[in-house]
Structure 1
Amino acid sequence: MVGMLMAFSGPTAVEGAEVVNGCLPAATEINDAGGVLGRTIECEAFDTKGTASDSVPAARQMLSTTSNLFAVLGPSTAEAVAAAPVLEEATQVMFSPAGDGRFDRTELDYYYRLITSDSVGAQAMALHAKQQGFGNVALVFVGGASAQANIPPLEEALGGLGIPVTEALTIQPEQPSYRTEVARILQNRPAAIVFEADAVSAGTFLTELNQAGGGDIPVVTNTLATTGDWQKAAVTAYGGDDALAKSLQMVVRYAQEGGPGTETYVETLQSLDGQDGIDVPSFKDSAYARAAYDGVIVAGLAATKTDSVEPEDYNSAIPELLAAGDGKTVVSNYADGVDAIKEGKDVQYVGANGEYRLNEFHNVIGAFAYYDWDPSTKSLRLVKQLPAEELEALASGQR
């Protein structure tokens, strides 16, 4: 059993949806190849509701009721500080998408983050703002752990590049109106608005921004804008795709286009189209969904390598399977990985998100990308990559 310890209700429920669209394809691929040491994989949701206070009971319920728990997908940003130590104490391998910078140098042995930290995401947003020539920006985030994790490093990164912040606002989710906040933002007429909100809150805020005459201000957002619900709300707020295309800019973790691991993931996801929770258009290009998928696959390969489904036995094999090395056999799907391991080969798994450069803290540094809105296809369009090397240099003050 793979436990999905994520928000499946509340403003951040999209995070649970991302994990579902990673876990189910991974389970399908593993089971089609005979399972993990002959055992089938299932995915079960444990709802954290996106809060630290609800995450610990959810984690304890998962641990106490699931005797065959193999791995965990989660917890996310709002819950990780509270829930990750509970899983660590239980020696349970977890693949967490938490962006919280406090995990950049974590001492947790069973914690893996296959998604780049929010502190690097802040560098990506700041670099994008610099490249776009924005003279200043306003920050608007729905209140909660994500705002707490994003706003301080974003202010620091922007300041380091000489870009003033006119306002840094947190807004409460799903309010009936944000007219007061919109008016406050427009007092200083920023060159751009860096924005993060769920679909409902975004629809209301962006509608009132347009009504107040701010529809021409570029809105730079992040992964929440990848979902169909968010995009529909934004199109409605702007009165059509053409108007949205003049405003929307999205900076997110780069999801590579092509490659054997990517193709396997997308094909398996598409084969599940129509199943409950599967949303191919929203998640086939999601770095988060792909990271969840890769986490389950590499856990299965680690169990095969160590001949054990117990996390405390297979945990040490995960970094070995992700590391590059001379003479290693590169595999991009579960079946090929199992075959290579059984043949005694030294394996590197390169998955749906490509190669993972895992550091000593079980963190990765990856590229980001800038997308805009293509009105002809009514979908996001890749404009350019923000390479990992540039972001690392910026983060270390070398830029």
Structure 2
Amino acid sequence: MRIKSKEYFKRALKSIPGGVNSPVRACKAVKADPIFFERGEGAYLIDVDGNRYIDYVCSWGPLILGHAHPEVIGSIYFASKKGTSFGAPTWQEVELAELIKNSIPSIEKIRLVNSGTEATMSAIRLARAYTGRKKIIKFEGCYHGHVDSLLVKAGSGLATFGIPATPGVPEELTSHTLNLPFNDFSAVEKAFLEYGKEIAAVIVEPIPGNMGVVLPENGFLEFLREITQKYKALLIFDEVITGFRIGPSGAQGKYGINPDLTCLGKIIGGGLPVGAYGGKEEIMNLVSPEGPVYQAGTLSGNPIAVAAGIATLKELLKPGTYERLEYISEKLEKGIREVLKELKLPYQINRAGSMLTLFFTKKEVKDFQSALTSDTEKFAIFWQKMLEEGIYLPPSQFEAWFVSLSHGEKEIEKTISAIYKVLKEMH
């Protein structure tokens, strides 16, 4: 029973739009009311009614170590005893910047901000200033925060100008955004042939996680690197999700590609609000106060968030960490595949490291349009039934599931058993 959650939701509706502070939390896509949580412990979440769930949301990615990791909590405690914010530099900011630089070779200088949205917004402004151009290429299904110029609908044209996806965004702000299908080589080539001298940058999630997990086709990211260099445009990797999750050097390390700018968030804050953008020194030197491109933030480099980030990265960079994470994530994927095979279900699984999505479609998912063939009604039923089995999944077909280092064999086996039970009941 979730009586207290329902009571809190009724109260929330009177004070907060939709009763939530971020839309997906409302659980509308799965035809449910949101669950209000009390605390997290390792791989588990406990709601206000005392129900316990194995958690595959992990705060949408940041909690790669699991909930309430002692090193992270300890760092937050000791940092907070010294003060919550100074509005001035701290030595911890330098340490976090160095940790990131030493792990991601393409980042020569980095600026801390407060969210992934701030990071992408700032990177785009910087790219336009550096190139003197206005147009940006993004891809359907890739989410880069709620930046006005990036909130465009998934258009069907190869190189059509974006249309605002939300009221309140003037078309003039999206008129310089070209929205293309992910993994579509020819669409990108046509866009550059027509607008090459006007394109400031291509921004891409190297492994998209916001239409569900979608893998880049062989050569696609390399192609983006080559064509941006050919036309003297910048390549921006939005690694807010994949940074330090796919590996110590992110997706760019996995694929061996050096973008011009990288956006980070989530894991580098250890569960506290943080973001960052960084890249080549020549480009980053344009950022104020060194250069003319203005960007600022009262809480940027907040000492508590930075302390949590440092503790998280130090844990991740210990030997064998990513190997353990890959082992447990692969075990989950294999288990789900065996269930699908036994039940003769044609559903698709995409996995990249410790992020995966089970798509309720028989079609291979390689872009936004193929992801949209998923049966969202069936997923909603699946989500609700999994919740009753004590498994908390992202409340949307089009989101990534996240595995943490706190998930062990026991949690994985229970999850696979629950998936088998639920899918067998549904079919």
Give the TM interval when normalised to the shorter protein.
0.3 to 0.5
> TM-score scaled to structure 1, two decimals?
0.33
Question: Whose relative contact order is higher, 1 or 2, with alpha carbons under 8 Å and at least 6 apart?
Answer: 2
